[in-house]
Each structure stands twice: as structure tokens, then as C-alpha cells.
Amino acid sequence: MTSLTFYGGVNEIGGNKILLEDKDTKVFLDFGKGFSRRAKFFEEYINPRAANGIQDFLTMGLLPDVKGLYRDDLMKMAERKIVEPDIDAVLLTHAHSDHADYISFLHEKIPIYMGDTCHLILQAIEERSNRQIEREVLSYRERPYNKKDDPIKRKINTFRTGDKLRIGSLEVEPIHVDHSVPGAYGFIIYTSAGPIGYTGDIRLHGTIPQMTRDFIERAKNEKLIALIMEGTRIADDTREESEELVSKESKKIVSATNRLVLADFNFKDVDRLRTFLKVGKENDRKLVVKMNDAYFLKHLSKDPKLNVPDIDDEDIIIYLQKKGSGKYQDSDYKGRDKEFVGRHNVWNAQEIAKNESKVLCAMGFYSFTALIDMKPKPGAIYIHSASEPYNEEQEISQERINAWMDHFGIHKFQCHCSGHARSNDLLEIVGEINARTLYPVHTEHPEVYKRAANNVIEVIEERLYPFS
């Protein structure tokens, strides 16, 4: 008996948690955080309480109430019966929060499989940010929280394309795909009922479309009995977009100014990072990175394939934030931040301001207070290189961004290319793979797939879908 049950990613973008059962084997495909589900009840000043362990997450439906999944310490806090973990593995497609973050709650004996590069990114994330109950993917601290306890490490197994994983009755073949974070994979899984495919997040208009093509080719040849397919942008209009275009437009903007330039992009998007490094270089500007983002350079530069510079690189400047006394004294920088103090390429706001035509600052809205110290001259540039606002909260942030722009006389530009395939590409992909049944996930509009595929299942959450 083989079946699928969807516990997240249903009529929502992200939060994928898909249970595949085959004979006695149970694996989860991703175990992500559902942002829209969370935002239904919570916002900036009202969050699930870490002091209540897992209870707030279970009660409000942010996590499925399923036995044999979660950590003993959390079960104990919730006054639940402690049982042995009943899941053989989690197969993680990539390092984005909406696929990875709720692994934080899972029992540490459940092995997590992920790509090598995905592992590096998660290491950087762990090192750069403070511990939070919703972000303890690689290791966690038992609750109730005691600072003296050592973190408990999860069992991580890494893979690369070409590897074959045996998990119980399943054989799993990870295949690289192109997405807005490196180390992203789709899976072909051989079950006792036949082969099924899971795309994770994919696109065909990125820098290496061939990777996604490799997945499609393999999926097509296997004659899948089921394809679990992302559909983030299935209902959006298709327009021209590419990393090349982002690069071209940004280059034009930057080359026309001698003023300060800020570029607001997600550092995990290594394509975008390389784009702004290149745009900087072509205009004699060094890339200024925040200390937090420097951790990504530190970890990702270890993977030679990614071609990411290390923190010592001559094209990199690390931005020294004001802390403690506000006077940039060595003693202001504690813990992990100490690593950056005294490096030759660490600049404070004044040094950056003095060299405004020589830098391109990788800084976004959350770093705008730095502008107060940098005192940019009118005519400075802000390139917003992320998706445009798609909910109310982001619209409000957008208004605040505009207010900062007005205050400092900064010009704003939008240059972006999405991590998700365009509607036409999605339809082409399902047509080509031609699986027996299609399970759209990671979308609010699964019905649109009916245009290109015959047996489209509009998934109902927590319902069991068996294969005969």
C-alpha cells in the first residue's frame, strides 16, 4: 500500500509537508513553515509562545497533530504521551524557510536528507541568527530553555545529484533543479506502486535552466504515476524576466551615478549576489555586506562550484554597525561579532559615506537606520531586487520604504527575476512530464493546471490519497 497525505502547502504558497507512505516506510517531503497560515493568527507583536513549547503551534494548526513526529521535550511540555518517532526520513528540497524551518520541531532521531550546498546554507543561517524555536533545523536546545544545556544535533545526511538513497522500501533519486537558492533538488522516488516525482521549487528562466531540464527529462522517462508539482505563479501573467536582465538594468542604473547605491536582495540567492558583485566590479565599486550576511560568504565560499568570494576578498567590505556605546569601540562587539573587529575590510557608516562612489551596499529596508549615519547626498540610489509586495503587511513596509526614500532624496528602482517558474513554463513542464496524476502544491490556484494536464487532484489537506 502506497499513499500521499498533504499536511501543508495546500492552497498556500509554501509550508510544504507531504507524507509519503509505502509499506512500512514513511517519509516526509519537506517540513516547512507556512507563512500565510501563521499570518492568519499572528503578526509582529503576537507570536506563538516559545514558553508554551509546541502547544501554540499545534492548537492553531501551524503543525499537524500527528503522533511519532515531534521532540520528546516538546511533547513532555505539552503533557502528551512520549512515543518513539515513527518517520523514517525527511527529504528536504532546499534551504528556504517555507520548506525547511519546521524541521525544528521534529524528533532528533528522524534523519534529514539534504543537498551538500543546502547544508552549508543552513549552517550559515544557524550561525548568523539567534536561536528561535521556529528556526532550529540543524540543532536545537531542549525546552524549557536552559542556556547551560548543549544543543542537540540532528542526524543530517547530505547528497549530490547522481546519488541514490535507499530508505526502507523506497529508492530516492535527488536531481538538481534551478531555483533562487543554490543546492535545490527535486526527487524521483521509486515506490512499490511505481515512480513518483516531486519538483520542490523550480524555474526555467534562471541562470542554469538545464538543471531543471535534467529533472523534467528524467521524470518524463520514468512515466510517473504521480507528480507533486509547485505552482506558485501558475495564475500570474507571463513576462520577460531573467537574471541577465536584472544585471543589465542594474548596471545601467549604477553606471549613471556617483552617489551611494543600495541594493536590497536576499543573500541566499547566490545568482543575485553574483549579479551585484559583477555590477559593482564593472563600476569600480566594492560590495558592502552586513555582518549577518558575511556568514553566508564564509560558508558558501567553501563550495568551489558556487564561485562566492570569502569575507577577505578584495571586492568585499563588511559594514560595521553601531552597537553598545555607539562609538565603534572594540568592546561593543561581542560573541560571534568579535570575529569581524579589526579586519582590514571592515568599514563603519562614515567610511562608507566618504567612499560613496566606490561602494555598492547590499542593504535593505531593515538596515535603513544606517542612512542616518551615512547621510547620503540627494540622488542616491536604492535598487529593490526582490519580489514586489504581495500582502498587506508588505504594502505597509513599502509605504515606509517610500517615506525613507523621500526623506533622504533617494531614487528607487525595481529589478528582479523570480525564483519560481512562469505560468507558461509550468504548463509546459506538466505537459511534458505527463504523469498519470498531478498533485499541485505550493499554490493558491491548483485548478489552473487543468489547462495542461488531465488528472489534476485539487488536494484536500490531511486526506489520504492511496495508489492502487
Choosing from 4, 6, 10, 14, the residue that interacts with Zn ion (CB under 5 A) is 14
Give the nearer residue to Zn ion in terms of CB position, either 8 or 195.
8
Give the nearer residue to Zn ion in terms of CB position, either 97 or 437.
97
Give the nearer residue to Zn ion in terms of CB position, either 96 or 384.
96
* AA identity, residue 454: N
Give the nearer residue to Zn ion in terms of CB position, either 95 or 172.
95
Q: Does 56 bind Zn ion (CB under 5 A)?
A: no
Least separation in angstroms between CB 99 and Zn ion: 5
- Which segment (49-57, 198-206, 275-283, 304-312) binds Zn ion by CB under 5 A? 198-206
Least separation in angstroms between CB 217 and Zn ion: 22
DSSP state of 339: G
Least separation in angstroms between CB 176 and Zn ion: 14
Least separation in angstroms between CB 95 and Zn ion: 8
- Which segment (199-207, 263-271, 421-429, 453-461) binds Zn ion by CB under 5 A? 199-207
457, 438 Cβ separation under 8 angstroms? yes
Choosing from 201, 222, 243, 293, the residue that interacts with Zn ion (CB under 5 A) is 201
Helix (H), strand (E) at residue 167: strand 165-167
Residue 254's φ and ψ, nearest 5 degrees, are -70, -40
Give the nearer residue to Zn ion in terms of CB position, either 73 or 98.
98
Q: How far apart are CA 155 and CA 140, in angstroms?
A: 12
Q: How many CB atoms lie within 10 A of CB 437?
A: 18
User: Which positions from 129 through 158 interact with Zn ion, judged by CB under 5 A?
Assistant: none
State the cell numbers at 225.
504515476
Give the nearer residue to Zn ion in terms of CB position, either 382 or 449.
449
- Which segment (9-17, 33-41, 79-87, 147-155) binds Zn ion by CB under 5 A? 9-17
Least separation in angstroms between CB 200 and Zn ion: 7
Give the nearer residue to Zn ion in terms of CB position, either 9 or 48.
9
Least separation in angstroms between CB 175 and Zn ion: 16
Least separation in angstroms between CB 239 and Zn ion: 20
Least separation in angstroms between CB 163 and Zn ion: 21
Could you tell me the strand order of the sheet in which 17-22 lies? 156-159, 112-115, 89-91, 25-31, 17-22, 2-8, 464-467
Give the nearer residue to Zn ion in terms of CB position, either 14 or 183.
14
| 57 closest CA partner among 21, 27, 101 | 101
* AA identity, residue 288: V
| 128 closest CA partner among 336, 307, 334 | 336
Least separation in angstroms between CB 227 and Zn ion: 17
Q: How far apart are CA 230 and CA 387, in angstroms?
A: 18
* AA identity, residue 351: E
| 55 closest CA partner among 75, 37, 71 | 75
Give the nearer residue to Zn ion in terms of CB position, either 98 or 271.
98
Q: Are strands 226-230 and 194-198 parallel, antiparallel or unpaired?
A: parallel
DSSP 214-232: HHHHHHHHTT-SEEEEE-T
| 273 closest CA partner among 285, 281, 265 | 265
Give the nearer residue to Zn ion in terms of CB position, either 8 or 364.
8
Q: What number of chain residues touch Zn ion (CB under 5 A)?
A: 4
Continuous H helices in 283-348? 291-300
Least separation in angstroms between CB 442 and Zn ion: 6
Does 144 sit behind a cis peptide bond, omega within 30 degrees of 0 on the bond before it? yes
Give the nearer residue to Zn ion in terms of CB position, either 17 or 96.
96
Least separation in angstroms between CB 314 and Zn ion: 32
- Which segment (10-18, 69-77, 169-177, 363-371) binds Zn ion by CB under 5 A? 10-18
* AA identity, residue 420: H
Could you tell me the strand order of the sheet in which 165-167 lies? 165-167, 170-176, 185-191, 194-198, 226-230, 437-441
Half-sphere exposure of 110 (CA within 13 A, CB side): 29
* Residue 81-100 contact track with Zn ion, rule CB under 5 A, x = bound: ---------------x-x--
204, 226 Cβ separation under 8 angstroms? no
- Which segment (6-14, 17-25, 149-157, 404-412) binds Zn ion by CB under 5 A? 6-14
- Which segment (60-68, 201-209, 237-245, 257-265) binds Zn ion by CB under 5 A? 201-209
Q: How far from the centroid of its chain's Cα atoms is residue 252's Cα?
A: 29
Binding site for Zn ion (CB under 5 A): 14, 96, 98, 201
